[in-house]
């Protein structure tokens, strides 16, 4: 088999293009991270998590800093959410975690709002202040109730 340099080149290009599309799908679309970096685990309890699911993003001011790693119930049967968050962020211990929705029907995520204390949250700590998911059902229910009373 005589070596054919044009053919070898196009085959090389083909493999390169194929691999780069796969890399795009894995890294950008699929969100694969090779070196996740240092992570700490934080917990928060909510009365109602709405439609929050595992791997939902955790954001500060809209910027993603981590994701939900586990959802369960604590002893008081409240929703216990564990999340992995980038280490090294100075999250003061009186920060609050709220469940928000992106858009009207979009995915739910946890939004962290910073507090004022100097001490910061460490691995395994729990958020003191939380705000449950805003449920459209409940909103509508409350609205109907209110209008009923005023009549």
Partner 1 sequence: MSSLVHDLGARSSSLVGSLGRVSRFGLSLLRALPKRPTRFGFFVHALFDAGVLSMALICLSGFTVGMVLGLQLYTTLTRFGAAEGLGAVVGLSLVRELGPVLTGLLVTGRAGSAITAEIGAMKATEQLDGLRMMAIDPVHFVAMPRALALTVAMPLLNGLFITLAIGGAYVVGVNLQGLDGGVYLSGLENAVRFGDDVGQSLLKSLVFGMLLGLIATYKGHSCAPDSAGVARATTSTVVTASVSILLADYMITALWGV
The residue ranges that bind partner 1 (CB under 8 A) are 1, 3, 7-8, 10-11, 13-15, 17-19, 21-22, 24-26, 28-32, 55, 57, 103-107
Whole-number minimum distance, CB 59 to partner 1, in Å?
A: 12
Least CB distance from residue 21 to partner 1, whole Å? 4
Question: Which lies closer to partner 1 via its Cβ, residue 95 or residue 111?
Answer: 111
Using alpha carbons only, give the angle 111, 114, 116 rounded to the nearest 5 degrees.
160
Between CA 102 and CA 33 the distance in angstroms is 23
Q: How far is the CB of 90 from partner 1 (least distance, A)?
A: 27
Separation of alpha carbons 83 and 85, rounded Å: 6
Residue nearer to partner 1 on the CB measure, 57 or 115: 57
Which of 53, 146 has the CB closer to partner 1?
A: 53
**Which class for 89: exposed (0-12), middle (13-18), buried (19 or more C-beta within 10 A)?**
middle
């Amino acid at each position: 088999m005589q070596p054919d340099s044009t053919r070898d080149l196009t085959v090389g290009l083909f493999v390169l293009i194929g691999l780069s599309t796969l890399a795009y799908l894995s890294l950008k679309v699929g969100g694969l991270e090779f070196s996740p970096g240092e992570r700490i685990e934080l917990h928060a309890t909510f009365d109602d998590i709405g439609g929050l699911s595992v791997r939902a993003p955790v954001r500060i001011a809209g910027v993603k800093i981590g994701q939900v790693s586990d959802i369960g119930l604590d002893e008081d049967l409240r929703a216990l959410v564990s999340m992995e968050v980038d280490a090294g962020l100075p999250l003061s211990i009186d920060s609050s975690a709220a469940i928000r929705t992106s858009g009207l029907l979009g995915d739910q995520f946890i939004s962290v709002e910073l507090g004022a204390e100097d001490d910061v949250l460490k691995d395994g700590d729990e958020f003191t202040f939380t705000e449950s998911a805003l449920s459209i059902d409940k909103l509508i229910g409350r609205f109907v109730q209110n209008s009923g009373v005023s009549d």
